[in-house]
Amino acid sequence: MNPNPIRRKVCQAAGAALALIPVAVIGQSAQAATNAKLREELHYQDTPKGDMKCLTCLEYAPGKKEGFGTCKVIPGDDEIAAEGYCASWNSM
């Protein structure tokens, strides 16, 4: 029998492409979303200002990643630190 080198190369390329799909998906989901423009406008910082911190703000919602969450005032940002602070801090 005469092996078909073209078919072999196509199969190898297809196998390599299939093997890379999980790497691409994991890489995309691992990146956090931030809203840099609003963070700057609200003077967001990753540290509290006295007793005022995101964890005690009414706008904060804990996220899946420990110590981080989301904020109603900064949409599209899932990297708000629980110990952070911004000018929109609201206790009531």
Alpha helices by DSSP H, listed for the chain, are 5-29, 36-41
Whether the pTM exceeds 0.85: the reply is no
Rounded to a whole number of angstroms, the CA Rg of the chain reads 23
What is the structure's pLDDT at 8? 76
Reported as a single tens digit per residue, the pLDDT across 3-43 is 677 877 766 766 666 666 665 555 444 556 788 999 999 99
69-81 pLDDT, tens digit per residue, is 999 999 999 999 9
Note the pLDDT of residue 34: 87
* Per-residue model confidence (pLDDT) at position 28: 46
Give the domain ranges of the chain: 5-81
The whole-angstrom separation of Cα 73 and Cα 26 is 28
